[in-house]
């Protein structure tokens, strides 16, 4: 099982978005130096002043140029917000800059404000994402093609440049729910599942749903099936649980409140309201980190979480580092690199100390 690092570019009260932009690139370099498999950045819009990663393609192009080995993993590119040909061009360019290191994660988005501002009908977001992804695959794999769809239509064109990876970079579908897992399997895409504000039972149900639906899926035209599972979890590693809590508690609690609020609003818009969703995690640091799959505490405390994911057959765990000061996140990333070495050992040997 591989281990990666991830960030949403959270901006603390003692920092600025401009400073965080530069620090995120430094953190990607640190992740590569620590021997981690990938570095990911999420596409976040209009969350001022707490997030700085809206222009995800610009930031990850800089990360691609600053690194040499680590996989470049957007998590995720929100396809309904962009013309798919622009998306295809930009991520092909990043694959070129990185010499073929892009793992392309896509999604429909889960922030009602973002869809409203960009004029996207939330009820059509999934179908738009499917159509956009088909266009991107065609653009990456065909010398010339035209398209007539529900949302985009254009005459025969050829994309330039196309990615280094042939026929295309690995593609995964992102989301938090079992329905998302079923959608990924229906197109034989990889699954990038989040464990944020989900308990272990829910996460295991998501994983089972993906595997149960895989055989009945049909790959997109011109696409290579990608049966892989990445789990995104929150985390921070330090010398003690108390030190870790002191470094990240305020930011994590803000994030949990935001995720719970977004999820409640999306459930209501989808006709399945759940006003109590996530209530047990609100303003409760212990519950947020003990009841959900997360990586908070010492290396010894964190290792069993990674081992459990390995036993579940997960291919990669990506740990979101945010909320702490930059120097503390660099230290945490280095400790995660040491943990990744432990996880690569046989289960019976993967014990620290």
Give 145's contacts (C-beta < 8 A, 6+ positions apart): 138, 139, 156, 157, 158
Establish if 219 belongs to a structural domain.
yes
8 Å CB contact between 25 and 66:
yes
Distance CA 52, CA 326 (A): 14
Which pLDDT value is given to residue 291?
Answer: 83
- pLDDT tier, 253 (very low <50, low <70, confident <90, very high otherwise): confident
For residue 284, is it within any domain? Answer: no
Residue 141 lies in a domain: yes
Q: Which residues contact 24 (CB under 8 A, 6 or more apart)?
A: 7, 9, 41, 52, 53, 59, 63
The predicted pLDDT at position 197 comes to 65
> Is 125 domain-assigned?
yes
Retrieve residue 159's tokens: 């994309």
Assessment of whether the complete model's pTM goes beyond 0.85: yes
Tell me the average pLDDT of the chain: 90
Please say if the pLDDT value at position 137 is more than 50.
Answer: yes
Domain contains 291: no
- Give the mean model confidence (pLDDT) for residues 298-315: 95
Q: What is the pLDDT of residue 138?
A: 98
% the chain with pLDDT above 70: 96
The pLDDT of residue 350? 45
Whether 48 has a pLDDT exceeding 80, the answer reads no
Say what the pLDDT of residue 353 is: 41
**What is the reported pLDDT for 150?**
96
- Give the total number of structural domains in the chain: 1
Across 248-263, b (16+ Cβ under 10 Å) vs e yields bbebbbebbeebbebb
Among 125-134, 184-193, 264-273, whose mean pLDDT is lowest? 264-273
Residue 110 has pLDDT above 80, yes or no: no
Q: What is the 3-state secondary structure (H, E, C) of the chain?
A: CEEEEEECCCCCCCCCHHHHHHHHHHHHHHHHHCCCCEEEECCCCCCCCCCCCCCHHHHHHHHHHHCCCCEEEECCEEHHHCCHHHHHHHHHHHHHHCCCCECEEEECCCCHHHHHHCCCCHHHHHHHHHHHHHHHHHHHHCCCEEEECCCCEEEEECCCCCCCCCCCCCEEEEECCHHHHHHHHHCCCEEEEECCCCCHHHHHHHHHHHHHHHCCCCCCCCCCCCCCEEEEEEEEECCCHHHHHHHHHHHHHHHHHHHHHHHHHHHHHCCCCCCCCCHHHCCCHHHHHHCCCCEEECHHHHHHHHHHHHHCCCCEEEEECCCCCHHHHHHHHHHHHHHHHHHCCCHHHCCCC
Evaluate whether residue 25 is within a structural domain: yes
Q: Minimum mean pLDDT among 16-30, 216-230, 337-351: which range?
A: 337-351
With respect to residue 268, please indicate whether it lies within any of the assigned structural domains.
no
More confident residue, 318 or 347: 318
Question: For residue 352, what pLDDT is reported?
Answer: 45
More confident site: 152 or 53 = 152
Q: Is the pLDDT of residue 325 over 50?
A: yes
CATH number of the domain encompassing residue 21: 3.20.20.30
> Could you read off the pLDDT of 163-198 as tens digits, one per residue?
999 999 999 999 888 999 999 999 999 999 987 767
Asked whether the predicted pLDDT for residue 90 surpasses 60, the reply is: yes
- 204: domain range? 2-252+297-349
Mean pLDDT of 241-256: 89
Task: Lowest mean pLDDT of 71-80, 108-117, 288-297, name the range.
Answer: 108-117
What is the rounded CA–CA span in Å between residue 63 and residue 328?
20
By percentage, how much of the chain surpasses pLDDT 90?
A: 67
pLDDT over threshold 80, residue 109:
no
**Within-domain flag for 275:** no
Rounded to an integer, the average pLDDT of 74-103 is 96
Is the pLDDT score of 162 beyond 60? Answer: yes
């Amino acid at each position: 099982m591989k281990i990666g690092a991830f960030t949403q570019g959270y901006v603390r009260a003692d920092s600025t978005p401009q400073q965080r932009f530069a620090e995120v690139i430094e953190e990607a370099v640190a992740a590569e130096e620590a021997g981690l498999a990938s570095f990911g950045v999420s596409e976040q819009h209009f969350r001022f002043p707490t997030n700085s990663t809206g222009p995800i393609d610009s930031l990850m192009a800089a990360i691609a140029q600053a690194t040499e080995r680590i996989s470049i993993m957007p998590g995720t590119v929100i396809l309904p917000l962009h013309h798919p040909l622009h998306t295809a061009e930009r991520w092909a360019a990043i694959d070129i800059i990185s010499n073929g290191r892009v793992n392309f994660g896509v999604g429909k988005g889960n922030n009602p404000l973002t869809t409203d501002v960009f004029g996207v009908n939330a009820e059509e977001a999934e179908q738009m994402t499917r159509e956009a992804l088909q266009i991107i695959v065609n653009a990456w794999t065909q010398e010339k093609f035209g398209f007539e769809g529900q949302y985009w239509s254009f005459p025969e064109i050829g994309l330039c440049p196309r990615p280094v990876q042939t026929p295309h970079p690995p593609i995964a579908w992102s989301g938090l729910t079992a329905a998302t897992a079923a959608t990924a399997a229906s197109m034989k895409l990889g699954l990038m599942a989040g464990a944020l504000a989900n308990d272990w039972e829910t996460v295991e149900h998501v994983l089972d749903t993906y595997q149960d639906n895989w055989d009945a899926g049909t790959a997109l035209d011109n696409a290579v099936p990608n049966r892989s599972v990445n789990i995104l979890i929150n985390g921070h590693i330090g010398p003690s649980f108390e030190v870790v809590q002191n470094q990240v508690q305020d930011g994590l609690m803000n994030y949990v409140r935001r995720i719970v609020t977004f999820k409640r609003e999306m459930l209501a818009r989808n006709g399945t309201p759940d006003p109590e969703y996530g209530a047990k995690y609100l303003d409760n640091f212990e519950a947020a980190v003990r009841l959900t799959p997360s990586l908070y505490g010492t290396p010894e405390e964190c290792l069993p979480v990674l081992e459990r994911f390995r036993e579940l057959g997960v291919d990669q765990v990506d740990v979101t580092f945010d909320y702490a000061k930059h120097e503390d996140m660099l230290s945490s990333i280095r400790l995660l690199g040491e943990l990744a070495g432990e996880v690569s050992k046989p289960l019976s040997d993967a014990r620290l100390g």
